[in-house]
Amino acid sequence: MTEEARLRELICTLAKSLFDRGLTHGSTGNISARTSDGGLLVSPTGTSFGRLDPSRLSRFDAEGRHVSGGKPTKEMPLHSAFYDTRSQAGAVVHLHSCHAVAWSMMPDVDEDDFLPPLTPYAIMQLGRVKLLPFFRPGDPAMGDAVRGLAGKRSAVMLANHGPVVAGKDVEAACNAIEELEATARLAMLTCGCRPHLLKGAQIQDIVTTFNVEWEA
């Protein structure tokens, strides 16, 4: 099996795992990953994470031309913005996960630091998550908003829509977006209960120890 064939299989396996556990539903969500030649493999538009076909993934060459596979997701501007502004990005995942979307609707959420510091793991895997305003699905302005962050965030939350995470590879991106959803779930479960949050010194210790990107 070639390296690209293995990557195609891995994308579909991870997508199905996310779908089977209810982290996205129907034909929502999209996923992409860099190939060894600098191109991209992308989930096609209108497809379900539970039923992706490795042979039908959209294939882009290193110049950004669609060369084979199905028509790519309409959220390509969002994916492209991460790849163009974060040289270390090897994959991008976008979900419509329930608790993250619910948390984005809460009135007192911090736009510059979307997730409260409830556990160390979201800090370690995501750094600070930026809450972006609502955009119509497929609106190229979403990509413009990500570009406006100048590569300083690996994860954003689209208000009333869903999270988007870039990682060094497709497994890292999927692990990080699962952590985002898990932390949002904890935030919803403890909302109004005055939970004990990690303190500033504890957060800084995590950031320093694990070399976390931590944009102020």
Which CA distances in Å does 49 have to 90, 135, 189, 212?
A: 19, 22, 27, 30
Give percent of the chain with pLDDT exceeding 90.
Answer: 98
- 33 pLDDT exceeds 70? yes
Q: What is the pLDDT of residues 120-155, one digit of tens each?
A: 999 999 999 999 999 999 999 999 999 999 999 999
Q: How far apart are CA 183 and CA 197, in angstroms?
A: 12
Q: What is the span of the domain harbouring residue 91?
A: 3-209
In a domain, 215, yes or no: no
In a domain, 201, yes or no: yes
The set of catalytic residues is 75, 121
Mean pLDDT of 201-214: 95
Q: How far apart are CA 111 and CA 100, in angstroms?
A: 13
Mean pLDDT of 19-40: 97
Q: What is the pLDDT of residues 147-175, one digit of tens each?
A: 999 999 999 999 999 999 999 999 999 99
In a domain, 214, yes or no: no
**Alpha helices (H) in the chain, listed in sequence order:** 3-20, 76-85, 98-104, 120-126, 141-147, 170-190, 200-209
In a domain, 83, yes or no: yes
Mean pLDDT of 75-96: 97
- pTM, to two decimals: 0.96
In a domain, 65, yes or no: yes
CATH number, residue 81: 3.40.225.10
Mean pLDDT of 47-52: 98
In a domain, 52, yes or no: yes
Q: Nearest to residue 147, comparing CAs of 67, 66, 89?
A: 89
In a domain, 165, yes or no: yes
Using pLDDT thresholds of 50, 70 and 90, give the confidence band for residue 86: very high
Give the pLDDT of residue 216: 61
Tell me how many domains the chain contains. 1
